[in-house]
Chains A and B, each alone.
Chain A
Amino acid sequence: GQQLNQSPQSMFIQEGEDVSMNCTSSSIFNTWLWYKQDPGEGPVLLIALYKAGELTSNGRLTAQFGITRKDSFLNISASIPSDVGIYFCAGLRSNFNKFYFGSGTKLNVKP
């Protein structure tokens, strides 16, 4: 079943604003991944995190692997209209069997 709690569920922001979303779990994960999905398409990997405390950037996106290994957050700076979509977090546990996904954050950006 669902093991990741992702929030917020949706966001409506103005172009140029910064965005923050996070995922929490009661379980420890060894890898955190952040994906973006456009309507009718498959999720695309944005950032991968492998170590507790790691902070990684990809352009205007920054993600962190929580120290407790039970959470992660994604920040988007200076949002633009093409940032619109659904953002999913995913965690991989030590047994490498399968990925656990959050329920997604729907981002809407007003021009």
Chain B
Amino acid sequence: EADIYQTPRYLVIGTGKKITLECSQTMGHDKMYWYQQDPGMELHLIHYSYGVNSTEKGDLSSESTVSRIRTEHFPLTLESARPSHTSQYLCASSGLSWGSATEAFFGQGTRLTVV
């Protein structure tokens, strides 16, 4: 069973508020990812990290920012939430493994609703 946790599971917040979505993993994985997903739709990569102090933007442009100060922690922040940010946010991690394959493990997701 994957040891990757996201909090909160559900968040309803007013427009203009600053929010931070938490993601932690206890597997010692170097790579971590944030995906945005509308219900029943495909996953869009918005941020990823190769390791501590490394962050990259993903394929889908996002107004959110991320940080990676510790290996196990990869929080996502929205400085000013808007209704267009309403979506499910999924965090994932994978092992750094040269010469062999790796697998991505997902948290349960945070369902964000901005009103």
Instruction: Please tell me which one of the listed residues B96, B103, B104, B111 contacts residue A40 in the complex, with CB atoms under 8 A apart.
Output: B111
Q: Chain A: residues with CB nearer than 8 A to chain B?
A: 1-2, 30-31, 33, 35, 39-45, 48, 50, 86, 88, 90, 92, 96-99, 101-104, 106
What's the least CB distance linking B25 to chain A, in Å? Answer: 12
A104 CB, nearest partner CB in chain B, Å:
6
Number of residue pairs A-B, CB distance < 8 angstroms: 66
- What is the CA–CA distance of A99 and B107 in the complex, to the nearest angstrom? 16
Give complex CA distance A48, B109 in Å.
22
B42 touches A1 (CB 8 A): no
Given A88-B43, A98-B48, A101-B42, decide whether A41 and B108 contact each other with a Cβ distance below 8 A. yes
B contacts with A: majority SS: loop
Which of the four size classes fits the interface of chain B? 20 to 34
Query: Which residues of chain B have a CB within 8 Å of any CB of chain A?
Result: 2, 6, 31, 33, 39-43, 45, 48, 50, 58-59, 88, 90, 92, 94, 96-98, 100-109, 111
A45 touches B59 (CB 8 A): no
Are A92 and B105 also in contact (CB < 8 A) when A39-B39, A106-B40 are?
Answer: no
Chain B residues whose CB sits within 8 angstroms of the CB of A97 once the complex forms: 48, 50
Do B33 and A43 touch (CB < 8 A)?
no
